[in-house]
Amino acid sequence: MTARPAAPTLPVPLLRDGLAREAARFSLRRLARETGVSPNGLRDFLRGSSPRSATRTRLESWLTAQGTATRPPNVGQFVRLLNELAVDFSPEQTVQLGRAIAALLVESYETRRLVPPPWVRALLRHYRPRRGKAAGEVA
What does each of the 139 residues of the chain score in pLDDT, given as a tens digit? 454 555 556 778 888 888 888 888 888 899 999 999 999 999 999 998 988 888 888 998 898 888 655 566 677 878 888 888 888 999 999 999 999 999 999 999 899 888 888 888 888 998 988 776 555 555 4
pTM here is 0.47
Q: How far is it, in rounded angstroms, from Cα 71 to Cα 116? A: 17
Asked if 88 and 110 sit in the same domain, the reply is yes
Considering the domain boundaries, does residue 7 fall inside one?
A: no
Asked if 21 and 57 sit in the same domain, the reply is yes
The residue segments making up the domain with residue 31 are 12-66
How many separate domains does the chain show? 2
